[in-house]
């Protein structure tokens, strides 16, 4: 059975972890390496990698905040495609999911 309070706490904890990850990545991205031709800094690859990680973390944060909004609005656990209940096991594995297993598998 779905315990909404426990899920909210889980999502809030995950949100805090992602915010800390974003802050750390922002710190790493403060100094931009030299992109000039012929004298490129080998740190360019690491900087670009950190930038990609930051975008992934930002996307994850948006998913978590969307799930928290659905909780506040009473729509959490309801499939956005068919309107049915999302399976508890699926929510337990993917707490930010917006679709039931059937709708997630459908291609249309």
pLDDT tens-digit series, residues 81-108: 999 999 999 999 999 999 999 999 986 5
How far is residue 96's CA from residue 10's CA, in Å, rounded to a whole number? 11
Place of tokens 């080998």: 42
Q: For all residues of the chain together, what is the average pLDDT?
A: 91
How far is residue 99's CA from residue 43's CA, in Å, rounded to a whole number? 40
Residue 26 banded pLDDT, cuts 50, 70, 90: very high
């Amino acid at each position: 059975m779905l315990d909404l309070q426990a899920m909210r706490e889980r999502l809030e904890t995950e949100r805090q972890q992602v915010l800390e990850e974003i802050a750390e990545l922002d710190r790493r991205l403060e100094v931009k390496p030299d992109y000039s031709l012929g004298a490129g800094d080998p740190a360019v690859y690491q900087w670009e990698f950190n930038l990609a990680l930051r975008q992934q973390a930002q996307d994850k944060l948006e998913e978590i905040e969307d799930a928290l909004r659905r909780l506040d609005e009473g729509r959490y656990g309801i499939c956005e495609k068919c309107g049915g209940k999302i399976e508890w096991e699926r929510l337990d594995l993917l707490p930010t999911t917006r679709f039931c297993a059937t709708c997630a598998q459908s291609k249309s």
